[in-house]
């Protein structure tokens, strides 16, 4: 018998519509026998079964739901089936990289699994998943036979779950400091043990290909360059030059190596360690201009209260970027803040164009790659959006 939680009256609708979160405010009563991390059945105020998930009273998201079928047991077979289903439709070559499990969007709340060739990198974002690491590791080994499974749960969100950060080997061999992957015919070195996220911005994979349509013969400014994903993509699509800017010297070092690895020109002066917000002003003061500017800043809005401040930063960045573009140039601009909706982002970019005194046309809309699917019942899973604007 599972422990039970009872919802307040009239709080059942989102659960019936399969939203995977139950906020603490919707809960009337929790069985006293249940511990955080345990499986619980969620019932209406009338006692009707709605769904089953795992509990954590410490989090505002008190329950994350796993199944809406009363007859479906959440046992080893359940995890095996969910993992197999998520992996089954990600078609990839032996040396490629993909997100295999995108948490809630794959029916596995709190769990991220990324595959880099023969290595699997796992993030356990919640207490419920953290306790299941041994089972998940065992099932991933049986399903995919990786050379090694490595954990990268060194993320701030674990604090909200009462968890410390954790990283290290979970099974098999420990990955090397640099794992080489192949993407779209290019090679990239990925620092899976210390890099951002699980090492690479897999969510931008399809966009790295798409930007190639805009860069032939162009002088490109690549803002927030990280390890050079867009730099390699642009240079190999015949960009005349790419200046990559990032505040971290370490990532720029890897960016330069990635450009070289693909036999592309990597001049030291094309990798600039600087704060982007001040660097673009410096370029403007020097009257420098570019044909294409890519801007992919980090998540600027972490909470509802930060949206306004983030909007100002996005506007400021895009405004100066537009002023640096030659007539007919392209601004390829992103926001990965889930709280900034596509509609709001477009308004921000519009405001930037107005203040920059430039006309702009949207020629393409971009989003997160298809291995980061958006669950219709969970619109929060959509976070990355981009606009390709032709600026006149």
Contact set with ligand SAH (CB under 6 A): 201, 204, 224, 226-227, 229-230, 246-248, 251, 275-277, 296, 298
Q: Least distance in Å: CB of 91 to ligand SAH?
A: 22
Crossing angle of the two packed helices 133-144 and 76-88, in degrees rounded to 10: 50
Asked whether the CA dihedral 96, 81, 128, 14 is positive or negative, the reply is positive
Instruction: Tell me how far CA of residue 286 lies from CA of 98, 120, 281, 371, in angstroms.
Output: 41, 46, 9, 41
Pick between residue 109 and residue 229 the one whose CB is nearest to ligand SAH. Answer: 229
Strands annotated E in 154-240: 166-172, 179-183, 186-190, 219-223
Pick between residue 295 and residue 344 the one whose CB is nearest to ligand SAH. Answer: 295
> Measured in whole angstroms, how far is the alpha carbon of residue 227 from the centre of its chain?
15
Q: Least distance in Å: CB of 278 to ligand SAH?
A: 8
Backbone angles phi, psi at 163, to 5 degrees: -110, 145
Q: Give the span between the Cα atoms of 297 and 228, in whole angstroms.
A: 14
Q: Give the span between the Cα atoms of 299 and 336, in whole angstroms.
A: 5
Instruction: Tell me how far CA of residue 329 lies from CA of 117, 253, 295, in angstroms.
Output: 37, 28, 14
Pick between residue 103 and residue 202 the one whose CB is nearest to ligand SAH. Answer: 202
Pick between residue 222 and residue 323 the one whose CB is nearest to ligand SAH. Answer: 222
Q: Least distance in Å: CB of 314 to ligand SAH?
A: 13
Q: Least distance in Å: CB of 71 to ligand SAH?
A: 44
Pick between residue 226 and residue 378 the one whose CB is nearest to ligand SAH. Answer: 226
**Is 389 one of the catalytic residues?**
no
Q: Give the span between the Cα atoms of 32 and 20, in whole angstroms.
A: 23
Which residues have C-beta within 8 Å of that of residue 5, sequence separation ≥ 6? Answer: 22, 27, 29, 30, 31, 34, 40, 41, 42, 43, 55, 62, 63
Q: What are the b/e assignments for 267-301, b being 16+ CB within 10 Å?
A: eeebbbeeebeebbeebeeeeebbbbbbbbbeebb
Q: Least distance in Å: CB of 231 to ligand SAH?
A: 9
Q: Give the span between the Cα atoms of 364 and 381, in whole angstroms.
A: 21
Task: Spot the catalytic one: 320, 322, 336, 384.
Answer: 336
Q: Least distance in Å: CB of 226 to ligand SAH?
A: 4
Pick between residue 183 and residue 291 the one whose CB is nearest to ligand SAH. Answer: 183
Looking at the chain, how many residues does it have? 392
Pick between residue 137 and residue 241 the one whose CB is nearest to ligand SAH. Answer: 241
Q: Give the span between the Cα atoms of 351 and 332, in whole angstroms.
A: 16
Q: Least distance in Å: CB of 153 to ligand SAH?
A: 19
Give me the active site residues, please: 336
């Amino acid at each position: 018998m599972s422990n039970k939680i009872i919802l307040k009256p009239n709080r059942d609708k989102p659960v019936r519509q399969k939203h995977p979160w139950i906020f603490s405010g919707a809960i009337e009563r929790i069985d006293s026998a249940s511990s955080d991390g345990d499986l619980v059945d969620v019932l209406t105020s009338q006692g009707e079964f709605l769904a089953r998930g795992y509990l954590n009273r410490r989090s505002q998201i008190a329950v994350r739901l796993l199944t809406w079928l009363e007859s479906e047991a959440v046992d080893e077979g359940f995890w095996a089936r969910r993992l197999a289903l998520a992996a089954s439709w990600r078609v990839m070559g032996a040396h490629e990289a993909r997100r295999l499990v995108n948490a809630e969007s794959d029916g596995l709340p709190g769990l991220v699994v990324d595959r880099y060739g023969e290595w699997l990198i796992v993030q356990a974002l919640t207490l419920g998943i953290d306790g299941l690491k041994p089972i998940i590791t065992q099932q991933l080994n049986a399903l995919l036979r990786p050379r090694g499974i490595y954990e990268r749960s060194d993320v701030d969100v674990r604090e909200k779950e009462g968890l410390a950060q954790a990283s290290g080997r979970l099974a098999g061999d420990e990955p090397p400091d640099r794992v080489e992957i192949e993407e779209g015919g290019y090679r990239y070195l990925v620092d899976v043990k210390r890099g951002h996220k699980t090492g690479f911005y897999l969510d931008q994979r399809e966009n790295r290909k798409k930007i190639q349509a805009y860069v032939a013969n162009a002088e490109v400014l690549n803002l927030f360059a990280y390890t050079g994903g867009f730099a390699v993509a642009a240079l190999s699509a015949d960009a005349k030059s790419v200046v990559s800017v990032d505040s971290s010297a370490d990532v720029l070092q890897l960016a330069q190596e990635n450009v070289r690895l693909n036999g592309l020109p990597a001049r030291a002066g094309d990798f600039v360690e600087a704060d982007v917000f001040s660097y673009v002003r410096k370029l403007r003061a020097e009257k420098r201009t570019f044909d294409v500017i890519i801007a992919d800043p980090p998540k600027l809005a972490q909470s509802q209260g930060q949206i306004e401040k983030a909007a100002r930063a996005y506007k400021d960045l895009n405004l100066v970027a537009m002023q640096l573009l030659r007539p007919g140039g392209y601004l390829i601009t992103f926001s990965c803040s889930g709280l900034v909706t596509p509609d709001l982002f477009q308004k921000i970019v519009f405001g930037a164009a107005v203040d920059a005194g430039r006309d702009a046309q949207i020629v393409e809309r971009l989003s997160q790659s298809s291995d980061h699917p958006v669950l219709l019942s969970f619109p929060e899973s959509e976070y990355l959006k981009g606009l390709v604007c032709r600026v006149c």
